[in-house]
Amino acid sequence: MISLDFILKFIVAAVAAGTPLLFGTVGEILSEKVGHLNLGVEGMMSIGALTGFMAGYGSHNLAVSMIAAFAGGMVSALIYAVLTIGFMANQNVIGLTLTIFGVGFANFVGVYMVGKTSSNTWQLSADLISQMKSIHIPLLSDIPVIGKLIFSYDPFTYTGIIIALICGWYLFKTKAGLNTQAIGENPAAADAASIQVTKWKFINIVLGGGICGIGGAYCSMIINGGVWISDCVGGLGWISVALVIFAAWRPQTAILGSFIFGALRVLKYYMPSVIPIAFFNMLPFIITAAVLLIASIRGTKGSHIPENLGFNYFREDR
Amino acid sequence: MGGEVKNAIRCEKISKVFGNVIANEKIDLELNYGEILALLGENGSGKTTLMNMISGIYHPDEGTIYVNGEPVSIQSPLDAQKLGIGMIHQHFKLVNIFSAMENIELGTPGKKLPPKELRARVTALCEKYGLETDPLKPVHDMSVSEKQTVEILKILYRGANILILDEPTAVLTPQETEKLFEILRHMRAAGCAIIIITHKLNEVLSISDRVTILRKGRSFGTVKTAEVDVSKLTELMVGRAVNLEIERPATDRSEEVLKVVDLCVERSDGSTALEDVSFHVNRGEILGVAGIAGSGQKELCESIAGLITPKKGAILYKKENMAGKTPREIIELGISMSFVPEDRLGMGLVAGMGMTDNMLLKTYTRGKGAFVDRAPAKKMAETLVDKFGIVTAGIEMPVRMMSGGNVQKVLLGREIESSPDLLITAYPVRGLDINSSYLVYDLLNEQKKKGVAVLYIGEDLDVLLQLCDRIAVLCHGRLTGVVDADKVTKEQIGLMMTGENWEEVREYGG
């Protein structure tokens, strides 16, 4: 009844649909590991979506797009970092504001650009779209099952997995990662151990924002087939924030988590049509709410939540 | 060192001003290798400010600090570390989820060491200085004294040979304190220079070689420990002779006010906070509660005050069961009970409000209708200021701007003003200097003479032994005994704090 081919298709689609979530989650983990809850993921992804799309439109080059998306995300995270680290502003308020700003700004520029084109669609060149296609490695991609399962995704997916693995290695295997974690757990202890708290907070938050930005570019460039559409991130940033909890603040676990949520997103295409589509559209968000609920019931006990998450650090505070 | 005295730190005319407050004024201080220097002074005398300048957290406005004879400028904790200076703060600065050795490695330059090598280094360091630690144990599973050991190791691992300890014994049992002093003596013998800040005068006498006294931000001379005694030190510190005796007046104790029977309390995470605790307090009596921090003192206070619901057992106040009642219900029963929580600014007072509003917290329901009558509260605040000599810029000034001693006076004063029959106080002298502490003891004794039953949660065993009539000792939520204060020694209480029952201890050393 259900063929192997059908299952393979579903998995491949799930991984692709989970890719933007992977970027968002890993980026947010970096930020939360230094104790900063950044609710601006949706906004940072939107800005990354815009800058990536723009660069792609101008350069017809995927690598340039990705770098531009990374830079866009970094700049938007820098706004957040300056306000919360430098000016000690409330993290939640700034994060939410960043989301509202980022989404609005991307839509604003997008609408303007659409108006500038003759066909009233802002579209990427066929050359760039071909670069974004799923890779095909001769021989490897042709291996039955394995080839399809491992060697048939687009460049974004591989970039995301590599970034997640590097971040995992950085956080748990290097001295800098140890210092980073100490800041999120107990910034006063880190400070006393002569770790430069402010510097490392900036580095992690800004890098995290950059990674989110690439996830945004995936939304604008791949999901909609190279055509700019307003609100292209469409809530994936919010799911990413919840996925951080699901992944227990581990980038490696985020790989698995984002693909599971990716599966939820594409489930609607693989299910009998008896159940209304709206239900499946809602599903990832319901599960997100459930994850948050379960996490809060379990409390801090046994979870890996950074102890100082959400609180700014001021050395002379008592 | 071989007899030759080598200068570790010399401070020359150090001054530091915060706004219009002079924290340090022309302070001189000298510390040699191979010695332990005690820094003594009341609250606000500038001890911590001075130490923060040596460890790079503040920068002096005037004066010079010499390290190893060279004038230096210490701009950050990192600079201090490079000069071999390490500070152990009053509140431990450790990452709970990390193991001992991860905390030790934290912030050191270079690459992350393989766990095996790191472990070997930590173990070697322990052997050199006679310390004991389990390098792999996570900090959240450690006792206070284990955490302190990790703090010391952290500093030694960075190659420090000048150590500053800010009130290291405040949270230790007598046995743990003795162990710490043994370690410090060991380090002194190894050539380290050590500064220790403490309020406990007999500790100063037992550990230090010399004592430098600070008073109101100025250095008041240095004396050889061997040439002074407790009363001489107090006199130097306060500026006049102080009677260090805490009186214990005899009172009528016929009536039982509070009786706790088989009290069991669970923490929110499901662990046991109190297990079958039973005791009673009579009128005109101060019952002390001793125990290592976190042995269930907090839960005991909070369940009597009605803040948490016990799992089992009864709390009888004048024969009426209060277990499971809310604070409001307890007040409505006509029970007057005053609760002075250990976290003064967290639970006792609202930090951002002035004295008047804080008075209102306890009495606002007495007003009629929806409006609040502030006049009586204001009057009460003014009375307290006069009665207890509270130093404040104004009764409407937020209480967080006041010094620790004054905050405590406000809190205790408010509770006493409601003329309670039962007064619960947790660590009322924590962070207070000697003058303020004795004022608190006097206040408690005054209440006792009025016939109030007082439950006193304390940490300084010397004080508990002098002030209280009986002492209950808690260990991991179990009561290891309730003993008459004049029939027990400090050592015996120390043993009971670590889990031995009174029956065993009585045999051991009477």
Give pLDDT tens digits for A168-203.
Answer: 999 999 999 999 999 999 998 998 888 889 999 999
Query: What's residue B323's pLDDT?
Result: 76
- Judged by DSSP in three states, B325 sits in coil
Interface test with A, best of B58, B95, B101, B102 (most A CBs within 10 A): B95
To the nearest 5 percent, what fractions of chain B are helix, strand and coil? 35, 25, 35
Residue with tokens 């976190």: B294
- pLDDT band with cut points at 50, 70 and 90 for residue A92: very high
Is the Cβ of B351 closer than 8 Å to some Cβ of chain A?
Answer: no
Measured between alpha carbons, how far is A116 from A109 in angstroms, rounded to an integer? 11
Question: Does B22 share its domain with B104?
Answer: yes
Question: Does B209 share its domain with B354?
Answer: no
Q: How confident is the model over B340-377, as pLDDT tens digits?
A: 666 666 677 887 888 888 888 877 766 666 777 888 88
Chains A, B: CB contacts under 8 A, how many? 65
Q: Which domain holds residue B186?
A: 7-238
- Cβ contacts of A194 within 8 Å, gap of 6 or more: B76, B77, B78, B81, B107
Measured between alpha carbons, how far is B332 from B310 in angstroms, rounded to an integer? 20
| Candidate from B334-338, B396-400, B452-456 with smallest mean pLDDT | B334-338
Nearest to A182 among B57, B76, B106 (CB): B106
Query: What's residue A290's pLDDT?
Result: 86
Contacts of B106 in chain A (CB under 8 A): 178-179, 182, 189-190, 193, 195
**Cα-to-chain-centroid distance, residue B28:** 27
Distance from CA of B139 to the nearest CA of A (A): 12
Chain A residues with at least one Cβ partner in B under 8 Å: 173-175, 178-179, 181-182, 185-186, 188-195, 299, 301, 304, 307, 315
Is the Cβ of B280 closer than 8 Å to some Cβ of chain A?
Answer: no
Is the Cβ of B206 closer than 8 Å to some Cβ of chain A?
Answer: no
Question: Does B351 share its domain with B332?
Answer: no
- DSSP structure class, residue A219: I
Beta strands B256-266 and B312-317, pairing class: antiparallel
Distance from CA of B93 to the nearest CA of A (A): 4
Contact B110 A194 (CB under 8 A): no
- Judged by DSSP in three states, A120 sits in coil
Question: Does B284 share its domain with B264?
Answer: yes
* Domain A4-298, CATH among 1.25.40, 1.10.3470, 3.40.50, 3.40.33: 1.10.3470
Using CA coordinates, name the residue in chain A closest to B102. Answer: A178
Q: How confident is the model over A227-273, as pLDDT tens digits?
A: 999 999 999 999 999 899 889 899 999 999 999 999 998 988 888 77
pLDDT at B232 over 90: no
End position of a domain, from candidates B185, B205, B238: B238
Question: Does B228 share its domain with B268?
Answer: no
CA angle B307, B308, B314 (to 5 degrees): 110
- pLDDT band with cut points at 50, 70 and 90 for residue B321: confident
Nearest to A192 among B93, B268, B269 (CB): B93
Nearest to B112 among A175, A301, A315 (CB): A175
Query: What's residue B336's pLDDT?
Result: 62
Using CA coordinates, name the residue in chain B closest to A191. Answer: B77
Beta bridge partners of B423: B338, B454
Query: What's residue B335's pLDDT?
Result: 64
Using CA coordinates, name the residue in chain A closest to B400. Answer: A318
Token reading at B79: 């600079």
- pLDDT band with cut points at 50, 70 and 90 for residue B239: confident
Average pLDDT rounded to a whole number, residues A126-143? 85
Measured between alpha carbons, how far is B230 from B247 in angstroms, rounded to an integer? 18
Nearest to A179 among B97, B106, B268 (CB): B106
Q: In b/e form, how buried is each residue of B27-36, taking b as 16+ CB within 10 angstroms? A: bebbbbbbbb
User: Cβ(B214)–Cβ(B22) under 8 Å?
Assistant: no
Measured between alpha carbons, how far is B67 from B85 in angstroms, rounded to an integer? 9
- DSSP structure class, residue B430: T
Contacts of B89 in chain A (CB under 8 A): 192
Q: How confident is the model over B52-83, as pLDDT tens digits?
A: 899 888 889 999 999 998 999 998 888 888 89
Burial class for A278, CB neighbours closer than 10 Å (0-12, 13-18, 19+)? exposed
Contacts of B92 in chain A (CB under 8 A): 189
Question: Does B259 share its domain with B127?
Answer: no
Contact B78 A181 (CB under 8 A): no
Average pLDDT value over all residues in chain A: 91
pLDDT at B394 over 90: no
- pLDDT band with cut points at 50, 70 and 90 for residue B39: very high
User: Cβ(B50)–Cβ(B14) under 8 Å?
Assistant: yes
- pLDDT band with cut points at 50, 70 and 90 for residue B6: confident
pLDDT at B330 over 90: no
Contacts of B81 in chain A (CB under 8 A): 194
Distance from CA of A165 to the nearest CA of B (A): 18
Distance from CA of A180 to the nearest CA of B (A): 10
Burial class for B37, CB neighbours closer than 10 Å (0-12, 13-18, 19+)? buried
Contact B96 A182 (CB under 8 A): no
End position of a domain, from candidates B403, B418, B433: B418
| Candidate from A220-224, B331-335, B498-502 with smallest mean pLDDT | B331-335
Using CA coordinates, name the residue in chain A closest to B82. Answer: A194
Distance from CA of B111 to the nearest CA of A (A): 6
Contacts of A182 in chain B (CB under 8 A): 95, 98, 106-107
Average pLDDT value over all residues in chain B: 85
Query: What's residue A277's pLDDT?
Result: 85
**CATH number, residue B123:** 3.40.50.300
User: Cβ(B299)–Cβ(B265) under 8 Å?
Assistant: yes
Domain range summary for chain A, segments of one domain joined by + = 4-298
Burial class for A260, CB neighbours closer than 10 Å (0-12, 13-18, 19+)? middle
Contact A185 B57 (CB under 8 A): no
Backbone angles phi, psi at B35, to 5 degrees: -140, 160
Query: What's residue B254's pLDDT?
Result: 84
Chain B (4-33) residues lying within 8 Å, Cβ to Cβ, of chain A? none
Number of domains forming the structure of chain B: 3
Contact A194 B57 (CB under 8 A): no
Measured between alpha carbons, how far is B438 from B466 in angstroms, rounded to an integer? 12
Query: What's residue A151's pLDDT?
Result: 85
Contact A189 B78 (CB under 8 A): no
End position of a domain, from candidates B203, B238, B273: B238
- pLDDT band with cut points at 50, 70 and 90 for residue B116: very high
Contact A185 B98 (CB under 8 A): yes
pLDDT at B92 over 80: yes
Query: What's residue B1's pLDDT?
Result: 41
Q: How confident is the model over B171-229, as pLDDT tens digits?
A: 777 888 888 999 999 999 989 999 999 878 888 999 999 999 988 888 888 999 999 98
pLDDT at A314 over 50: yes
- Judged by DSSP in three states, B418 sits in coil
- Judged by DSSP in three states, B450 sits in coil
Interface test with A, best of B57, B97, B400 (most A CBs within 10 A): B97
The full DSSP string for B345-399 is IIIIS-TTS-HHHHHHHHHGGGSSTT---HHHHHHHHHHHHHHHT---S-TTS-G
Query: What's residue A302's pLDDT?
Result: 52
Interface test with B, best of A175, A297, A314 (most B CBs within 10 A): A175
Contact B96 A193 (CB under 8 A): no
Question: Does B148 share its domain with B214?
Answer: yes
Q: Where are the beta strands (DSSP E) in chain A?
A: none
Contact B107 A190 (CB under 8 A): yes
Interface test with B, best of A180, A181, A194 (most B CBs within 10 A): A194
Is the Cβ of B103 closer than 8 Å to some Cβ of chain A?
Answer: yes
- pLDDT band with cut points at 50, 70 and 90 for residue A318: very low
Q: CA distances (Å), B205 to each of A166, B33, B198, B405, B490, in order?
A: 56, 19, 11, 25, 17
Query: What's residue B510's pLDDT?
Result: 46
Is the Cβ of B375 closer than 8 Å to some Cβ of chain A?
Answer: no
Average pLDDT rounded to a whole number, residues B85-110? 89
Q: Does ipTM top 0.85?
A: no
- Judged by DSSP in three states, B236 sits in helix
Question: Does B197 share its domain with B96?
Answer: yes
Query: What's residue B2's pLDDT?
Result: 44
Beta strands B85-88 and B162-166, pairing class: parallel
Backbone angles phi, psi at B280, to 5 degrees: -140, 155
Contacts of B87 in chain A (CB under 8 A): 192
Nearest to A186 among B77, B93, B110 (CB): B93
Distance from CA of A317 to the nearest CA of B (A): 12
Measured between alpha carbons, how far is A161 from A264 in angstroms, rounded to an integer? 19
Contacts of A179 in chain B (CB under 8 A): 106-107
Question: Does B233 share its domain with B323?
Answer: no
Is the Cβ of B352 closer than 8 Å to some Cβ of chain A?
Answer: no
